[in-house]
């Protein structure tokens, strides 16, 4: 899965602070999609930080600004 943002539940893994306010409709939709089908890998940006973490069997990869990866 390659998207601009990630599921709402993953925000806590990106930011050191707890979630605040309401999630965007996009983040909520991605969370619902994740519950329906968990991909092996989810690549996204939006947060301008570099993170790789496996959650519930899915490898989440957040790319920092101007960072890239090659996908086989």
Using one digit for the tens of pLDDT, what is the confidence trace for 21-48?
678 999 999 999 999 999 999 999 998 8
Domain count, the chain: 1
The answer to whether the beta carbons of residues 13 and 34 sit under 8 Å apart is no
Taking the model in full, what pTM does it have? 0.88
Domain for residue 68, yes or no? no
Tell me whether residue 37 is exposed, middle or buried, using C-beta atoms within 10 angstroms of its C-beta: 0 to 12, 13 to 18, 19 or more. Answer: exposed
User: Is position 19 within any domain?
Assistant: yes
pLDDT tier for residue 17 given thresholds of 50, 70 and 90: low
Q: Are 52 and 61 in contact (CB under 8 A)?
A: yes
**Per-residue pLDDT band at 65 (split at 50, 70, 90):** very high
pLDDT tier, 18 (very low <50, low <70, confident <90, very high otherwise)? low
The answer as to whether 3 is a domain residue is no
| H/E stretch holding 31 | helix 25-36
What's the whole-number average pLDDT of the chain? 91
> Any idea which residue has 């690549």 for tokens?
43
What are the C-alpha distances in Å from 61 to residues 9, 12, 23, 54? 14, 14, 20, 9
pLDDT of residue 14: 85
37 is in which domain, residue-wise?
8-62
């Amino acid at each position: 899965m390659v998207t601009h943002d990630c599921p709402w539940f993953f925000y806590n893994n990106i930011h050191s602070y707890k979630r605040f306010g309401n999630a965007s409709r996009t983040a909520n939709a991605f969370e619902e999609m994740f519950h329906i089908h968990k991909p092996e890998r989810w690549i996204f940006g939006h947060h301008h930080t570099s993170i790789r973490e496996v959650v519930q069997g899915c490898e989440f990869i957040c790319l920092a600004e101007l960072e890239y990866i090659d996908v086989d």
